[in-house]
Amino acid sequence: MGRKKRAQATIFIIAGIVILALVILFFAGRKAGVSFLQVGQEDLRSEMDKIETQVLECMADSAKAPLDMMGKQGGFLSVPEKSYRYYEDYTISYLCWNQVARPTCTNRLLTLEGMEDELTKAIKNEMKECLNIKKFAGALAGYTIDAPSTYDLEVDIRSLKVFINMEYPIVLKGKEGAEVSKKDFQEVVDYPVGQLYDVAQDILNFETQFGEFDQLMYMLQKKGKFMIYKRRPYPDKIYVLKRSDNPYIFQFAVEGESL
C-alpha cells in the first residue's frame, strides 16, 4: 500500500509540474504575442461585430451628456462670462442681447455649425474613457488588431436626430491571410436638436423685429407639436422648448433691461 500511495503521489506531482509548465508557456507566449488559437475569416467577422457594438455604445454614451448640457445651456457647452443667465442651477446662454429703451433685442446668431464643432470636441474627449478595442485581441483571441491611435469624428445635427460619424480604420488579422476591416462607424441619437433650434430661431426672429413673442399662438399654429414655456426671472426672459413626444429640452435666455 505504501508503494502504491507513493506512486500515485509521484504521478500527481508530475502532472502538476506539466500543468504548471503549460501555464507558464502559455503566458510567456501571450506576452510575446504568440497566438495559440488561430481564427479564420468568419471568426474575424464575428469579432468585428463585437468590436463595432462596443464602439457604437461608446459613441452613444459619450454623446448624451454633452447633448443634454448643450440643450440646457442654450446651444453652448463653453459659456463665457457675462453671456448667460444663471437660473435653476443652469448657466443659460443669452441668445438675444438687450437693446436700450426698446422692446426688441439683438440676435446673438447661434449657428448649427458652431454647435456641431463644440459637440465634436466634447464627444471625442468623453470617448477617451470608453474606447478600448485593444482588449479584444491577444494570444487567447487568436488574432491581432491594427488600429490608429487617433480618429476623425464629425457631428451632424439634423431635424429629429443627431448623427455621429467616425472614421477609424480597424483591421483584424487571423490565420493564413484571413483579414477583416472596418473604417466608418455611425451612431444616431434620437434628439430633436435641429428642430428645436429652428423653433428657437422663429422666436428670436420675432423678438428681434417686434419684441414680445406669443408662444401660445405659435403652439396653436404648430398644432401642439411643441411645448414652449416662458419664464421671467427679472429682468430677463427664458424660453424652454421641447417636442410633445420627446423629453429633450432646449432653453435659452433673452436679455432684458433693468428699470
* pLDDT tens-place string over residues 67-119: 999 999 999 999 999 999 999 999 999 999 999 999 999 999 999 999 999 99
Instruction: Please determine, for residue 25, whether its predicted confidence score (pLDDT) is greater than 70.
Output: no
pLDDT attached to residue 243 = 98
pLDDT attached to residue 29 = 45
* Angstrom distance (rounded) from CA 57 to CA 69: 19
pLDDT attached to residue 20 = 63
Here the cell at position 255 is: 436679455
Instruction: Please determine, for residue 27, whether its predicted confidence score (pLDDT) is greater than 70.
Output: no
Q: How does pLDDT run across 42-72, given as a tens digit for each residue?
A: 889 999 999 999 999 999 999 999 999 999 9
* Angstrom distance (rounded) from CA 227 to CA 248: 11
Instruction: Please determine, for residue 14, whether its predicted confidence score (pLDDT) is greater than 90.
Output: no
| pLDDT, mean of residues 151-162 | 97
Return the number of other C-beta atoms located less than 10 Å from residue 227's C-beta. Answer: 13
Q: How far is CA 50 from CA 55, 56, 66, 122, 172, in A?
A: 9, 10, 26, 25, 12
* Angstrom distance (rounded) from CA 89 to CA 80: 16
Longest dimension (CA), the chain: 110
Q: How confident is the model at residue 22 (pLDDT cuts 50, 70, 90)?
A: low
Q: How far is CA 147 from CA 110, 126, 153, 194, in A?
A: 37, 19, 15, 33
DSSP at 37: S
* Angstrom distance (rounded) from CA 104 to CA 256: 9
% of the chain residues with pLDDT over 70? 83
pLDDT attached to residue 143 = 84
Q: Name the residue ranges covered by the structural domains of the chain.
A: 70-111+192-254
What rounded mean pLDDT belongs to the chain? 88
pLDDT attached to residue 40 = 80
Residue scoring higher pLDDT (149 or 186): 186
Instruction: Please determine, for residue 218, whether its predicted confidence score (pLDDT) is greater than 50.
Output: yes
pTM: 0.82
